[in-house]
């Protein structure tokens, strides 16, 4: 069984290219792994397809994701013009029909994001076991991005953490 690392990076918008960080991490991980997959990803389907494409003789030991992120997910396609246009079209259509955008419309519109909600809707839930089987027993995922686990004691105190 081959232990591998995967480094995924999305769009940085005004933050610039995450490729600089990817290259630096790749150099460090190459001391530890003989197989490292580097991939630019800016769509949710591409992210999950990448994990699914891992060979049955390989196990992901480290998955690093460089992306803009918020509490709802990883925005790999951050500031992507095609996604912004799609989002605007959904909002205009709902406004024209004098209704609110629905939950599922919002989730399905954000194709540049791997959202926490993606793990609850049927498309991912049905593939959960297959996705998990791609990871080694001691694997971990590191998310490198805005609002992705940065310590803030004031917020922790506010929420009683």
Query: Domain segments of the chain: what residues?
Result: 2-78+112-158
2-78+112-158 to CATH, choices 3.40.50.2000, 2.40.390.10, 3.30.70.20, 3.40.50.1460? 3.40.50.1460
Q: What proportion of the chain, given as a percentage, has pLDDT over 70?
A: 83
**Which strands make up the sheet holding 135-144, listed edge to edge?**
35-40, 2-9, 58-66, 135-144
Tokens found for residue 66:
């460089």
How far is Cα 27 from Cα 45, in angstroms, rounded to an integer? 27
Q: Which of 105, 115, 30, 109 is nearest to 71 (CA)?
A: 115
Summarised one tens digit per residue, pLDDT across range 60-91 is 999 999 988 776 678 888 888 999 999 999 99
Q: What proportion of the chain, given as a percentage, has pLDDT over 90?
A: 48
Q: How far is CA 131 from CA 3, 10, 34, 40, 50, in A?
A: 16, 20, 22, 19, 10
Look up the pTM and report it.
Answer: 0.80
Rounded mean pLDDT, 12-31: 88
């Amino acid at each position: 069984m081959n232990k591998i690392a995967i480094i995924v990076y999305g769009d940085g918008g005004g933050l610039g290219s995450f490729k600089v960080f990817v290259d630096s991490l790749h150099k460090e991980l190459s001391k530890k792994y003989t197989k490292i997959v580097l991939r630019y990803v800016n769509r949710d389907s591409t992210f999950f397809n990448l994990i699914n494409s891992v060979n049955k003789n390989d196990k992901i030991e480290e998955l690093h994701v460089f992306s803009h992120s918020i509490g709802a997910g990883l925005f790999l396609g951050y500031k992507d013009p095609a996604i912004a246009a799609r989002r605007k079209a959904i909002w205009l259509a709902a406004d024209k029909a004098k209704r609110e955008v629905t939950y599922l419309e919002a989730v399905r519109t954000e194709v540049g994001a791997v959202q926490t909600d993606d793990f609850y809707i049927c498309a991912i839930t049905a593939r959960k076991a297959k996705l998990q089987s791609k990871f080694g027993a001691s694997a971990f995922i590191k998310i490198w991005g805005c609002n992705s686990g940065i310590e803030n004691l004031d917020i922790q105190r506010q929420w009683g953490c």
